[in-house]
Amino acid sequence: MEAVAAAAQARERLRASFASGRTRPAAWRAAQLRGLLRMATEMEDEICAALRADLAKPRTESYVHEISLVTSSCKFALKNLEKWMKPKKVPAGLLTFPSTARVTAEPLGVVLVISAWNYPFLLAIDPVIGAIAAGNAVVLKPSEIAPATSSLLADLLPRYVDSSCIKVVEGGIAETTALLEQKWDKIFYTGNSKVGRIVMSFAAKHLTPVVLELGGKCPVVVDSDIDLHVTAKRIAAGKWGCNNGQACISPDYIITTKSFAPKLLDSLRKVLDKFYGKDLLQSADLSRIVNSNHFNRLKALMDEGMVSNKIVFGGQSDEQQLKIAPTLLLDVPLDSAIMKEEIFGPLLPIITVDKIHDSFALINSMTKPLAAYLFSKDSKLKRQFERNVSAGGMIFNDTSIHLTNQHLPFGGVGESGMGAYHGTFSFEAFTHKKAVLDRNFLGEAKARYPPYTPGKLKILKGVLQGNPLAMVQAAVGCTGRARV
């Protein structure tokens, strides 16, 4: 009950601040964005330390994958804020002549952002940037699974932004549930599909719109017509160089031909040896598994009877350190657990097919992924892949980096999520596009008013069909008794 009362109180305070109009001016929005930019810049050491405590995340990954992306989002929003806020003129249409028409972007109100543990700084702040740019008041609920970063955000945000309009609520399941029981103007959730369904069920009670940034099994199709060494490096960087595979856009499985698989496997082995050394578990450049529950989940996937004999590289683990080595598996059964659920860790199965085009049917037999990757020089194959594979995003000849482009939407499709953000799309995610039509008291058309007559209908049909004479008759106020 205390959690519910605290959640209700937080929401009501922010609703009062929003109702006062405090969040609407461009100056307020820009000031908060500059505050977030200063926080990310000035507190780099503290942020990196928190990420190290939560995930043993290497400083390079902490900066490149989290801090720099937050600063990039802030700068992009500041640069484009006035343009985004400016009403957009649209054609008024014949039926409403004379008039003007525009689309006005208005803030939704008080929004709830529930973030994830795998990129606990980026995935907390990036949606908040969009919510602030759109002029909303915000409650941020960081993930309790990354407690050091959650605590840091609770401490830092009030120092850098307006705490009467932007508030951090820490806690676990009880606090999150209490927040979800409240009525919000939008809920933005990043996490897995199981919790996404729970979030959506709470939102449905109040008809609250949601953005769900989920995940899925992201495939990597590898053709034989490639630069093999570059391909192996880019797959490794997107898998193990992104939080040791604990990323929603991380490559989840590879599909290649039976004839090409040995070459790809050999190249991946060499790259992993160069990146992380012979003793993989001792590498300082690999994040640890976030907690024992996820460690045991990943171990169970790897130790399943039909899978354990498919390991061709890696497989080592250290429960005390919560470390699992980069692991390659060849031709695991499609009905194994590792191929039925999102891995979200350092295990990477390689599935072989007779022909590279067979990969399309395999991918489409599963739920739609958050991202799909193809390595090939064949432009025809690329076009076929883009046309036939549905995914939240797609990259040719690399992995994961599309989220760095502020001009591209980032979001899922089907079970990998709904709604998108980043750049302009973040602003739109937290905005209502309001239609505004402005008329004066001229241009009365008697044909629109009862009593209706066949002549009036004839005039109206002419107007709708673009007949110039009918437009003139409507404008001068013909009653319909004159001929058209």
DSSP string, 228-262: HHHHHHHHHHHHTTTGGG-STTSEEEEEEETTTHH
Instruction: Please state the pTM of the whole predicted model.
Output: 0.94
* CA distance to 43, 342, 349, 394, per residue, from 253 (Å): 36, 10, 5, 15
What are the mean pLDDT values of the chain's consecutive 10-residue runs (484 residues total)?
78 95 98 98 98 97 98 98 97 83 97 98 98 98 98 97 97 95 97 96 97 96 97 98 97 98 98 96 96 97 95 96 97 96 97 97 96 98 97 98 96 96 97 95 84 88 80 66 42
d(CA 250, CA 352): 19
| Residue type, position 437, single letter | L
Query: Hey, what are 362's tokens?
Result: 């395999």
Q: Residue 210 has what DSSP assignment? A: E
Q: Which helix (H) or strand (E) holds 473?
A: helix 468-476
Take residue 228 and report the two structure tokens written for it: 């093999």
Q: Tokens 């900066």 label which residue?
A: 63
**How far are the Cα atoms of 24, 33, 73, 426, 465 from residue 80, in angstroms, in the given order?**
16, 12, 11, 12, 40
Task: Say what the pLDDT of residue 479 is.
Answer: 53
Please give the full DSSP string across 22-49, using - where no structure is assigned. Answer: TT-SHHHHHHHHHHHHHHHHHTHHHHHH
* Cα separation, 162 vs 30, whole angstroms: 12
CA pair distance 452, 160, nearest whole angstrom: 63
Phi first, then psi, for residue 268 (nearest 5°) are -65, -40
pLDDT attached to residue 455 = 87
Q: Which positions are catalytic?
A: 213, 248
Bridge partners (DSSP) listed for residue 418: 212
pLDDT of residue 460: 83
Angle in degrees, 0-180, between the axes of helices 44-55 and 26-42, rounded to the nearest 10: 70
- Burial tier of 34 (Cβ tally within 10 Å: 0-12, 13-18, 19+): middle
